[in-house]
Structures are given as structure tokens and as C-alpha cells.
Amino acid sequence: MKIIVVGLGYVGLPLAVQLARHFDCIGLDSNSGRIAELRDGHDRTGEVDAATLAASALALTSDAQECRGADLYIVTVPTPIDVDNRPDLSPVRSATRTVAALLDPATTPVIVYESTVYPGVTEDICGPMIEQLSGLKRGTDFFLGYSPERINPGDREHTVDKIMKVLAGENDEVTELLATVYGRVTSGGVFRARSIRAAEAAKVIENAQRDINIAFMNEVTKIFSALDISVWDVLDAARTKWNFLPFEPGLVGGHCIGVDPYYLSHRAQELGINPQVVLAGRAINDGMAQWMADEIHAALGREGGDILILGLTFKENVPDLRNSKVIDLVRALRAHGHRVAVHDPHADPVEARHEYDLDLVALPSEAAYDAVIGAVRHDAIKALAAPQIAAMLRPDGLVADLKRMWSPPSDDAASTVRRWSI
């Protein structure tokens, strides 16, 4: 069986490497620079190490013509939102156009989508596109399937070779084919969803559920702050109950949790349904950076301060800058009149400049800032000792710990620093 994985990002590359252990697999990415890096053994996402890449039988190409006539095409491209928080299906449409031009009806190929979409996209949008562009007939010349990605960037426990894979084909034969293929890849087993739409829906609510739970944490954080109670102290107590869910407040970004609910709400609104809970959760989480900026500004007590934010990526210990909400905090503090610098040990400076017009800085060796904000729980940031943080601050400086990374200081010098936390 010849398999093509279309898109070699956080999702596609680890999957393609695992598939290449068992099948003739080619990884296709339109970014020739990405292919060159991977051939040199460098994965900028940090998901696959150089030794694994070097040992892999995976073929790599940016030339789609090398991928004609395969038996199985797996589409793993991103599904972002636009500036109005509407689903942007252009990467999926582009990948679909690419695949449609490569199909050979003699192989009766199967096209599987892993990209997060709302129910109906695979069958109502992608299928007709392939028919129109290729002149082939779905259900006779080619078949569709869906298997939602579940990659969690930086997670070394729930990797693609260990998690349960949900899958669905447009008929039983396709479903069983996918079960065989994905069953070879993962030790976690496979789950055959009742339909492609059910599989699409399962994916979109997995992250919407997390978003709503975090929104509750963020809302109670504001309530407790007004009562001069730390939410972390409340959580310490609440977590002693056996069935309390361990969600935390914070900035909700990334390519999944901050995006997927908008796919669900978009489809709901098309159907004339007002998704009140989904959109309320999004509104709370999207507004959290502004609330934090307002509180930190008030705690600092003046305008025109120099502020250092530690962390820019959307989560700890990964280089992924997609949809990071730390940039919202930067912009909100600048709107308050402050000068804001950002340090991140994992982020790519070139990408930070490209995505956010932001030049990352090194950790200061002298007292250069009026406030230091711990925004991302990177191990390197969490490991900073209280005297190190205090040394970055001017007299009467403020430390704002958004993630409860740092224990209260015990030495006299660091304990004189003012502190703010949620």
C-alpha cells in the first residue's frame, strides 16, 4: 500500500514517520524549505528528533507529481479561523485540489481528512470538490474517510503511536481499511465511529469542552480577585475532592482549543441555532489577556513602565506560536502606555518577528524593568529563582506570576519585591 501524508506540521510529520515503519509512505508539504530542513534532520516543531528522522524510511517531497497514484491520501493541514473568527477552510481546499489532481481510479484511492472541521465538511465540501476537479465519481472511483487528529504539541506521553484513533469511512469496507492502517500505527487501538459526521463532531467538541471548562475557571478567577482571594488557593482546596476536574485559569491560545469552538458555533449558526455556551466560553477566554493587563497596570500604579514578559508560545516547553494569546497581553499593556519586551527560550525569533512583529530579548543581567510577568510555564522560566527575578527589577518593581510558577521568596532581598497573581 502506498500512502501519502499531505502536510508535515505538528500532526502530519509524526503520523508519517509512524506510517513509514509499516508502509510505503511519502510525506508531501508545499513548503520546500520545510522539506529541506527535515531532510537535514531538523524538525522545527520539536515533535520528531533528528535520530528518528535519520532512521526513518519516510520519503519527503514538495513536488506533488511524485505522489500520483497512491492508495491512501491523508490530509493533515491546519484549519485556522479568519479575523472575524469564521472557519478558514482555504488550507483544506488547497490540499483537496492537490489530491484531486493525483488520483488514479485504477487504485480506487481513499482520501482521509484529519484536519479539524465541523460536521459535513468532508462529505459536503471536499467530496464534491474532488469529483468536480478530477472527473471521478465518489463511491466508485474514490472513497472518503475521516480520522480526527489528537496530537498535543510537546506531549511525550500521548503520542500518535499510543493514543486511540477514532476513524470512519463512507462504507464498512473503507472503515475496515482505515482500521487496519491506523491499527498498525498505534498501540492504543482504534474506535470505529458510526459515521464520518460523527467522527468530525467528536473532534470539534473535544476541544470545545476544554475551552468551556477553562472559561469557567477564568470567570471565577475574576470573581475571586474582586474578593481578594487567590484562585490558586481556592483550587488547592477544591482539588481535594475526588471528582473535581483539574482545569486551570489562564490564556487560552493555540491551534485547537482557541479555534475549534468557532467551527462548531459557525455550523450551529448556519442551522439557526444560537450556541450560547460555546460563544460565552470563547468570549471569556478571548478577553482574559485584557483583564490581566488591566489588573497588572493597576498593580503597577503608573504608566510608561518597562515590562518584561517571560514566555510567548501558546503552551509550555514547545516552540509553537500559533494563536498565542500572550501577544494580546503585550498589545493590551502597550495600550496602557507601557514599553513591553518578551523573552522566550523556546520560540523561534524569526517566527516571532514574522507572526507578531516582535523582537525577542535575552534575559537581562541588570535591573532594567519595572515589572516582570511570568506568562508561560516553560521549565527554564519556572526554574528562575526569586533573587534572579528580583535582580531584573528596578526599585519598587512588580512580579506578576500568571501561572503560579514561583514560590514566595524566602530571602530578604527578593521578598521586598511587590507581587501580583491571579
**Residue 67 is among the residues annotated as catalytic for this protein:** no
Q: Is the pLDDT of residue 409 over 70?
A: no
Q: Which tens digits make up the pLDDT trace of 254-271? A: 878 889 999 999 999 999
Per the prediction, the chain carries an average pLDDT of 94
Whether pTM exceeds 0.85? yes
Give the whole-angstrom CA distance, residue 116 versus residue 112.
12
Please state the rounded mean pLDDT for residues 329-354. Answer: 96
Q: Which tens digits make up the pLDDT trace of 297-327? A: 999 998 899 999 999 999 999 998 988 999 9
The separation between CA 175 and the C-alpha centre of its own chain, rounded to angstroms, equals 28
Choose the CATH number for 2-197 among 3.40.50.720, 3.40.47.10, 3.40.1260.10, 3.30.565.10: 3.40.50.720
Q: Which tens digits make up the pLDDT trace of 205-247? A: 999 999 999 999 999 999 999 999 999 999 999 999 999 999 9
- Is the domain covering 287-421 a CATH 3.40.50.720 domain? yes
Residue range(s) of every CATH 3.40.50.720 domain in the chain: 2-197, 287-421
Q: Which tens digits make up the pLDDT trace of 166-181? A: 999 999 999 999 999 9
Q: Identify whether the C-beta of residue 80 lies closer than 8 Å to the C-beta of residue 112.
A: no
- DSSP states of 1-68 as a string? -EEEEE--STTHHHHHHHHTTTSEEEEE-S-HHHHHHHHTT--TTSSS-HHHHHH---EEES-GGGGT
Q: Is the pLDDT of residue 412 over 60?
A: no
Predicted pLDDT of residue 75: 98
Give the whole-angstrom CA distance, residue 155 versus residue 47.
9
Catalytic residue from among 25, 67, 126, 256: 256
Q: Give the helix/strand (H/E) hosting 310.
A: strand 306-310
- Whose cell is 500604579? That residue is 301
Please state the rounded mean pLDDT for residues 188-206. Answer: 96
Give the whole-angstrom CA distance, residue 164 versus residue 187.
8
Residues sharing a CB contact under 8 Å with residue 165, sequence separation 6 or more, in sequence order: 147, 150, 182, 183, 185, 186, 188, 189, 190, 191
Predicted pLDDT of residue 414: 53
- Residue 248 pLDDT grade (very low, low, confident, very high; cuts 50, 70, 90): very high
